[in-house]
Structure 1
C-alpha cells in the first residue's frame, strides 16, 4: 500500500519508514508532486495535523498522514502549544526557550507535557492518534542533544532531559513515538 507522509523532513521520514517496514511504500510530498506550503492555521495541535493531512487528500487524492507537535505548560494555560515552533516570534530555539523560562519564572507549577498528533486519511477516512509525555520544565537547559525544548524538558520518571538522552533513548519514550506506535498498529491491522 502506498502512503504519503505530509513532510519533506528526511529525519521524520526515516523514523516512520523504520516503524512501517516493507508493508507500505512511503512517499514524501515531493514524490506526489506537492510543492505547496501546507496550511497550519488552526489553534490546536490536532487541528493543524488534520489540516495538513486533509489538504493532501483533497488536492492530491493520496492516502496520507501528517503530524503536529507542541509543548504545553500547565501554568501558562497550555502555552506555547500550537505556537511552540515560533513562540518567541521566530523559529530561534534559544529565544523560544528563553521566553518559556521567563514566562514560567514566577509560576507555581512547572508541569508540562509534550503532545504529538498524527492524522491519517486512509482512502478518505480520517483517524487521529495522540501521544503524550508528561514532565516538567527545568529552570535552565541541560544537554546538547535533541531539538526544540528538549534541553529544558525533564520527563516524569527520568533524571535526564530529552537533550541528555540518546536519540534511541528519547524515541523509546517520546510523544512522537507513542502516537506513531498507535498509528502503525492501526495500519498493520488494515493490511492483514
Structure 2
C-alpha cells in the first residue's frame, strides 16, 4: 500500500464526526482527512456488509481513497436492534425515545459499535476497523455530543457520553476504538 500525505475522503456530512475523527487520528496519520458529502445507497444487512458496500460505492464515486463510518446501537433486550438503523430511530424519536423504548424492559444493556471502512481505490478490497463499547440506555443527560451520546452510559461509569469532556470521551468511545484499530493498521503498513 502506498503511504502518502494525499487526501482521504471521509464520506460524511456530520461536522461533529469529522472533527472527532480528525482529533483521534492525530498529526502522523498518512492521509489528510477531508469530508465529502456523497449520496450513498442505504444498504440493509449486518453492519460489516453495510460498511463494505458503502465503502466500495464511495470509492467508485470519488475515484480514490475513502473512509466511511457506520455507527450502531444494539439493545440486548431487542436482540441487537435497532443496530445499524439507529439513526432513523434518532431522527424520529430522539434520545428520549430510545430511552422510552426500554421502559417496560428490565434489561437496559446496550452495545455501541463503530465500524470504519477504508478503501484505497475503487478496485481495492475494503478493510473494516471495529470498536464496541458495552453500556446501558439511561434517561438522556448532558449537553455535548450528538446522536445517542445523551442516553448511552458506558459500563462502569456514571456519566453518559454527552456528559463527558470530549477528551475523556475520545479515550474510550466506540469511535475511538475503531480509529485506534485503523491507526495501528496504518502504522504497521508504514513500518513495513
Output the TM-score relative to the length of structure 1.
Answer: 0.84
Is 2:50 the counterpart of 1:48? yes
| Shift in alpha-carbon separation, 1:10–1:98, aligned structure 2, 3 A | closer
Matched residues, number: 182
Contact persistence 1:5–1:13 (CA under 8 A): yes
| Shift in alpha-carbon separation, 1:41–1:125, aligned structure 2, 3 A | closer
Q: Secondary structure of 1:68's partner? A: strand
Shift of 1:188: 2.4
Q: Tell me the equivalent position of 1:105.
A: 103
TM alignment of 1:59-138, pairs within 5 A: 59-87=61-89, 91-92=91-92, 95-123=93-121, 124-138=124-138
Q: Secondary structure of 1:21's partner? A: coil
Q: Tell me the equivalent position of 2:18.
A: 13
Output the TM-score relative to the length of structure 2.
Answer: 0.84
- Which structure dedicates a bigger proportion of its chain to helix? 1
Structure 1 runs not aligned, ≥5 long: 30-34
Structure 2 runs not aligned, ≥5 long: none
1:50-92 CA distance string (max 9 Å, x none): 222111222333122111002110001212211111116xx15
Q: Greater relative contact order (Cα 8 A, min sep 6): structure 1 or 2?
A: 2
